Structures are given as structure tokens and as C-alpha cells.
């Protein structure tokens, strides 16, 4: 059985500077590098590096970036047979600025990602009978995301949605198709229409998402931790303290760790801990896919911190 990731595949062009520019300002940067990215591809690599059999479904352009992106996915252990090379557009590109605190600003040019359509969903559908979960994000057209979730629901596999980039107008029909939704504070705020800052407001936001039909809402609060709620339980997992240098792909690493734990039969509690650990590790290195931990590093990180049930705080509301 495998995990399917349906989503974006980008080249990331990353510039570092002491701080992020304000509107109209030109800053002298410090460094530049080019790495493979895209939220879909990042999550596929996150899973593959943790030893999970992973299929990537998406599109790249018929350009040098497209060749590089496919090669990098394959080198990371991701199955690439269902990536379509679109000769009509360029590959997707993300332009990223990162400051010394690890904070970032990102502009995404969708390219081939913006052309993902029902044909891609049909290719995806052939893989579903042999899959245990489908991971979705919002860097491809929303119509394709909804269609993929519907296809997964018919085959009764788990649907995990990372609602990023942040949107306030997700279709109402999408929520009941989602088993687990994993917004960060900004994304949760956009979804529910009020600012989400801290555990109490994360709990309120999670409640709204559950009311809309999602079965499990996980709100990522960055260095503050993670709040998780289902109809049966609510709990909080504190963040792992690390020295963050770049938060790019931390959310994707979280979804990789979360899903890997669920695939291996661990509880939801432990899966959230795994997600938090993978996300923390990703912030300790620059770049997107280059920052994602392999299984040896990940297991060592958990052992060093003696992770267990004591990391989880049950909440009774």
C-alpha cells in the first residue's frame, strides 16, 4: 500500500537577507540558492525520506526545471510515473525571501501546476485502490482538489488536506470530504474569519472546522505547539525547541511525519507528535526538500528527546 500526494511541483528560488523587505524597499541580500519545492512535492519527499512508499501525481513544464524536478523526486525515492510533462507551459516557480529569524515571504508562479485538471484526477483514480491516504494542498486549481477528494472518498481512503496557500473561500462541499485538515495560524484565520493566535483561539477555530464537516482539525501554532481536535477528543502537543534557520517546508514536513505515523499504525496523539518533530527538524536547515529529515535523523531526534505520551496534554472543554 502507498500514499498518494496530489499537488504542486515547483522550483524554489531562495534569497536570504538579514530581514524581510517592506513594500517598496530594496534590500541587499546575502545568499541565493535554487532547490526543488512545491507543497505537493515537498510532502511527497517528506514521506519518502521517512521510508513510506509514495506516489506523486502532478505536472511540470517541458523545460529544464521540469527535468530537474522529476529527477530530484526520483532521487528522493518518490514514484514519478504519474507526473505529466505539459509542453504548453513552464514549470512552477516559487520566489522566496528568508530572514535571519527563519521567517519567509513567498510568491508562487503556478505554471504547469495551474493546469492540473480532470485528466490528472483520472490518473490519480487508478492509484487509489492500492493507497491508504491521499494528501492534498491548494497550489493547484481548487476544482481538481475537490474532484480528487471525491474520488478518494469513493474508495474510502484517508484524505489529508493542508489548506495552503491560505484561502477564505474554500467550497463548502470540500470540508466533509476531508478526514484531517492541518492549517497553520494564518491559514486557520483565513478559513474561519477571525484571528487565530494561541491555543484558545486554535481550539475555537478547530471547532468551526469540525462543524463544517472535517473529521479532525489540527492547528499548527509554530513555536507554540499544535492543537488537535476530533469529535471525541482534544489535546495539545508542545513544540520541540530547536534553533530555526528557515521555516520553509516546515508545514510540509509536519504532514509527512503525521501521515507516516498513521501509516505505521500509531495513534493520532503520536502522529501529531511525529508531525511536530518532523516540522521542527525541517526548520534547522535551509531550503524546502533539502531540509526534510531522513528516517535515521528523525528516529534519532525522537530518541534523544525521549518522546512519549507525556508530551501530550489532554484538554477537556
| Binding residue ranges | 10-12, 38-42, 139, 184, 220-225, 246, 248, 251-252, 282, 285, 287, 291
Active site residue 252: yes
Instruction: Give me the DSSP letters along 39-74.
Output: HHHHHHHHHHHTT--EEEEEEEESSHHHHHHHHHHH
Q: Which of 120, 162, 179, 252 is catalytic?
A: 252
How far out from the chain centre does Cα 99 lie?
Answer: 21
Which grid coordinates belong to 277? Answer: 518533530
Nearest to 180 by CA among 121, 263, 117, 283: 263
Binding-site residue numbers for K(+) are 246, 248, 282, 285, 287, 291
Binding-site residue numbers for substrate are 10-12, 38-42, 139, 252
Query: Measured between alpha carbons, how far is residue 48 from residues 22, 45, 179, 279, 300 in Å?
Result: 37, 5, 22, 15, 17
| CA–CA dist 43, 51 (Å, integer) | 13
Binding-site residue numbers for ATP are 184, 220-225, 251-252
| CA–CA dist 167, 169 (Å, integer) | 6
DSSP symbol at 30: S
| CA–CA dist 215, 262 (Å, integer) | 15
Cβ proximity of 201 and 224 under 8 Å: no
Active site residues: 252
Amino acid at each position: 500500500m502507498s500514499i498518494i500526494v496530489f499537488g504542486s511541483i515547483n522550483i524554489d528560488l531562495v534569497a536570504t537577507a538579514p530581514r524581510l523587505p517592506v513594500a517598496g524597499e530594496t534590500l541587499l541580500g546575502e545568499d541565493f540558492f535554487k532547490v526543488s519545492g512545491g507543497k505537493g512535492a515537498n510532502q511527497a519527499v517528506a514521506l519518502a525520506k521517512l521510508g513510506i512508499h509514495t506516489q506523486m501525481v502532478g505536472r511540470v513544464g517541458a523545460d529544464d526545471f521540469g527535468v530537474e524536478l522529476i529527477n530530484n523526486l526520483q532521487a528522493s525515492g518518490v514514484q514519478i510515473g504519474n507526473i505529466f510533462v505539459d509542453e504548453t507551459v513552464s514549470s512552477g516557480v516559487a520566489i522566496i525571501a528568508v530572514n535571519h529569524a527563519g521567517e519567509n515571504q513567498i510568491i508562487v508562479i503556478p505554471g504547469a501546476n495551474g493546469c492540473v485538471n480532470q485528466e490528472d484526477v483520472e490518473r490519480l483514480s487508478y492509484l487509489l485502490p492500492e493507497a491508504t491516504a491521499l494528501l492534498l494542498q491548494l497550489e493547484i486549481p481548487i476544482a481538481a482538489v475537490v474532484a480528487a477528494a471525491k474520488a478518494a472518498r469513493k474508495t474510502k481512503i484517508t484524505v489529508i488536506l493542508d489548506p495552503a496557500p491560505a484561502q477564505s473561500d474554500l467550497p463548502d462541499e470540500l470540508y466533509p470530504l476531508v478526514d484531517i485538515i492541518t492549517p497553520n495560524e494564518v491559514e486557520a484565520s483565513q478559513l474561519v474569519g477571525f484571528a487565530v493566535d494561541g491555543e484558545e483561539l486554535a481550539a475555537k477555530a478547530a471547532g468551526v472546522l469540525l462543524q463544517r464537516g472535517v473529521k479532525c482539525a489540527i492547528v499548527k501554532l509554530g513555536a507554540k505547539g499544535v492543537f488537535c481536535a476530533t469529535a471525541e477528543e482534544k489535546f495539545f502537543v508542545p513544540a520541540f525547541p530547536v534553533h530555526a534557520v528557515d521555516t520553509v517546508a516546515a508545514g510540509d514536513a509536519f504532514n509527512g511525519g503525521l501521515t507516516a505515523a498513521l501509516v505505521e499504525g500509531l495513534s493520532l496523539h503520536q502522529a501529531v507528535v511525529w508531525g511536530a518533530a518532523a516540522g521542527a527538524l525541517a526548520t534547522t536547515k535551509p531550503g524546502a526538500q533539502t531540509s526534510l529529515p531522513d528516517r535515521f535523523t528523525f528516529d534519532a531526534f525522537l530518541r534523544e528527546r525521549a518522546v512519549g505520551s507525556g508530551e501530550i496534554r489532554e484538554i477537556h472543554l
